[in-house]
Amino acid sequence: MKRGPLARIDSRRGAAIATAVFAALAALPASATEPAGIGAGWKALTLLNADGALRAFSTAGAAANLPEGREARFGRALALLAKQPITPAQVDEARSICAELAAGGIDDAAQGAGYFLGRIAQHHQETPDLAEAARQYRRLIEAHPSSIWADTARTRLAVLELYAPAPEPAPARLAHVAGILATARTPAARSELHLLMADAIFYFGLPVADSLPHLSAAEKLGLLDGPARADVLVQIAEISAMTGDIAQARKFYQAYLAEFPLDQRQFMVREKLRALEG
């Protein structure tokens, strides 16, 4: 069950800018997604058309201090981070825009800009600054605890708390993330944080039974995509069998067999279920 620390979160959430753009669209007013003006810029970004997004955002919004202008500036920052090949000048401009927006208001553009200050430090700089990324995520969470951006920052901060170089032992790292989980507002963030904690328990070689409450909580939230749900069903079944809860192991093996008939683990799971029943 031991895996690389970032493998599963990267496969589910992705490090690409397009994933963060969908979060941005979810946080913006409905009018911002209309297929004209600024909406054209967001649509271009979701289609990975960074040049088209830059053109759209450059003509949208009359003044930087108006909501439309702030949103257009935020869109430009994201488009600069999406345009390939990315250059240090693009990163510097995007960081400058985000710093200006984050310091100049409390609207969606300010909150999204605060989140991207963390992402820039973590992912886009030539030399990542994990301490600065964590500082920006914490700052956003403290300033806007109920924001969708704060919940997105919570999952990113949790990864840093778990795996960034530090002298703290694994149980202390998990305790930090448990504190983050306690403040998460959305079911999606809680699901992701539970999975991160379960992954960390496997990765650090802690007792696998400790992961069962987290796996069960994520499964009950009902937000797992296909591959993640298949993994979790099998993991719950195997850990239940290891800890002597045969009824629960059978239940989750059977759920996996019913829901994922084409998965490559079907034969293995059927054999394990047969052994349990025997």
Does some domain include residue 60?
yes
Tokens of 152: 């997105």
Give the distance, in angstroms, between the CA of residue 11 and the centroid of all CA atoms in the same chain: 10
Statement: residue 1 has pLDDT above 60: no
pTM confidence score? 0.84
Tokens of 132: 């600065």
Asked if 176 contacts 159 with a C-beta cutoff of 8 angstroms, the reply is no
Does some domain include residue 272?
no
Question: What average pLDDT does the segment 156-166 reach?
Answer: 94
Statement: residue 13 has pLDDT above 50: no
198, 214, 225, 238, 277 from 251: Cα distances, Å: 20, 18, 20, 11, 12
- For residue 67, the model assigns a pLDDT of 75
The rounded mean pLDDT for the chain is: 87
Asked if 121 contacts 133 with a C-beta cutoff of 8 angstroms, the reply is yes
Does some domain include residue 134?
yes
Does some domain include residue 207?
no
Does some domain include residue 57?
yes
Does some domain include residue 70?
yes
Domain of 116 in residue numbering reads as: 7-185
Lowest mean pLDDT among 50-59, 146-155, 178-187, 238-247: 50-59
Who's near 10: CB < 8 A, 6+ residues apart? none
pLDDT tens per residue, range 22-81? 555 545 554 444 445 788 899 999 999 999 999 999 876 545 556 788 999 999 999 999
| Cα gap 132→120, rounded to integer Å | 10
Amino acid residing at 228 = A
- For residue 278, the model assigns a pLDDT of 73
Does some domain include residue 12?
yes
Does some domain include residue 265?
no
Quote the DSSP letter at residue 212.
H
Asked if 158 contacts 196 with a C-beta cutoff of 8 angstroms, the reply is yes
Q: In total, how many domains does the chain have?
A: 1
